Each structure stands twice: as C-alpha cells, then as structure tokens.
Amino acid sequence: MMHFQYQLLNPFGPNILKAKCPQFILNEVNKFIDGPESRSVSPDLLDRDIDVVYLTEEFCESIHLKEFVEGLGQFYNEQFPSDIDKLCLSLVPSSDDRFDGKTIMADAWVNRYRSGDFTPVHIHAADLSGIILLEVPEDPSELCFMHGHYLPWTSAEWTPKQEVGDVILFPSWLQHMVFPQKHDNERRTLSFNLIDEQNYSERKWIFSKTS
C-alpha cells in the first residue's frame, strides 16, 4: 500500500480520515484538467452551473490515484470499528455491513469553482467518499460537513481548513456542502467514491465512460 501522512479525526461524531495526497498525483490531475483533452460535463448530478470533469478508471489507474484512494479506504476500515451502530450513531440500520471487506474506487470527478459557484447540501450514494483539494485560492469558499443537532455544548458543523493536497475521507451518508465562491480565482477539488466489491460491477459503467 502507498505510504501517506494522515490524521484520524472525530470532530462531531462521524470518523474522518484526513491525509495528504502525493504531489505527483496532484500534478497529473491538474495537468489533465488544464489540457486539451479535458471535457466539462454540464449539468452535473446536482444541477449546478459549474464546470465538472469526470475521470476514467484507466486514467486514475495510470497516475496511481486509484491505488492511493483504495489504500485510504482500506486503512479507514482497519482503524475504525466495523460495528456500523458505533460508526454512524444508529443513523444507518445495524444490519448494514457496507464496511466489511475491500472498498474499491467507483468514480472520480473534478469540480471547478469560480465566482458564485457552490454545492448544495447532499450525500453520496456509496460507502466511503473523499475530497482532494487540487487548487485553493485565498479566501476559498467554505467546505462544511453537517451532523447531529444544534444543541448547547455540541457541534453540528465542521469546516476544515483547506490546503492544497489535503484529502478528507468520510462516510458517504455524512451531509456536506460548499458555500458560494466570492471571487473568480479558481477553487479546484477532486471527489471520489469507494464501494464494496459486490457493488463495484453495478457502478463500473459510470467509471469507464470517457471524460
């Protein structure tokens, strides 16, 4: 498994893994996004007016991105309890065994935020999901995770500091959003999903299409 720097976080209940993406992977993704072969897809799944570029499985394998994020998923599974009741505070039925076994990269795409661009509150249809920060301008739009209730002496939101190369891996059911960008200096992120081996074949067609 590829080596990486990491932190294990629990800011408000859900277990979150924060890591650093290798620089050579960041360079290859940004090179592709800025190159002539990159193609934006609009509208995207959230009906945003925002540039979204999907990455193929072949490309992710060629730059070792697939190996890296699958290694993060395996490490997450090893570090945190497999008992789903403990992991997500009973928000998911205890019979859900989604975190058993190996997790496989199911899809990957790049979001390019400019003035006014945002992402509404949403969750992902997967097991684990991740965000890699590719470009972070001064005063970036806030990335916010939400969980639980607004009660005294508790925290219902987590807005992590954003630095280039940061990777945030979290349970896919965790709500999150990005506030509107206040300026035209690009904020660029890569999002991905991990699913178990049994469900991988059902999602493979998404990952195999061209950008």
Confidence class for position 9, pLDDT limits 50, 70, 90: very high
Mean pLDDT of 63-90: 77
Q: Which residue has the higher pLDDT, 10 or 153?
A: 10
Q: What is the predicted pLDDT for the residue at 86?
A: 44
CB contact at 8 A, 192 and 130: yes
Which amino acid appears at position 64 of this protein?
Answer: H
Evaluate if residue 94 carries a pLDDT over 60. Answer: no
Q: Which residue has the higher pLDDT, 130 or 92?
A: 130
* pTM of this structure: 0.85
Q: What is the predicted pLDDT for the residue at 93?
A: 41
Return the ∠ at Cα 35 (arms to 33 and 39), rounded to 5°: 60
- Least confidently predicted of 85-94, 112-121, 134-143, 199-208: 85-94
* b/e map 118-153, b = 16+ CB within 10 Å: bbeeeebebbbbbbbbbbbbeebbebbbebeeeeee
Cα-based torsion angle of the residue sequence 40, 44, 48, 51 in order, rounded to the nearest 10 degrees:
-10
CB contact at 8 A, 23 and 134: no
Tell me the pLDDT of the chain averaged across its residues. 85
Q: What is the predicted pLDDT for the residue at 148?
A: 85
- Rounded to an integer, what distance in angstroms lies between the CA atom of residue 62 and that of residue 47? 30
Confidence class for position 62, pLDDT limits 50, 70, 90: very high
> What are the backbone dihedrals phi and psi of residue 196, each rounded to the nearest 5 degrees, phi first?
-75, 165
Confidence class for position 2, pLDDT limits 50, 70, 90: confident
Evaluate if residue 113 carries a pLDDT over 90. Answer: yes
Q: Which of 19, 2, 63, 54 is nearest to 165 (CA)?
A: 19
Q: What is the predicted pLDDT for the residue at 151?
A: 78
Q: What is the predicted pLDDT for the residue at 149?
A: 80
Evaluate if residue 157 carries a pLDDT over 60. Answer: yes
Evaluate if residue 91 carries a pLDDT over 90. Answer: no
Q: Which of 186, 129, 134 is nearest to 30 (CA)?
A: 134
> What are the backbone dihedrals phi and psi of residue 182, each rounded to the nearest 5 degrees, phi first?
-90, -10
Mean pLDDT of 32-41: 85
The two three-digit tokens of residue 161, written as one number:
């500091």
- Least confidently predicted of 35-44, 51-60, 171-180: 35-44
Which amino acid appears at position 73 of this protein?
Answer: G
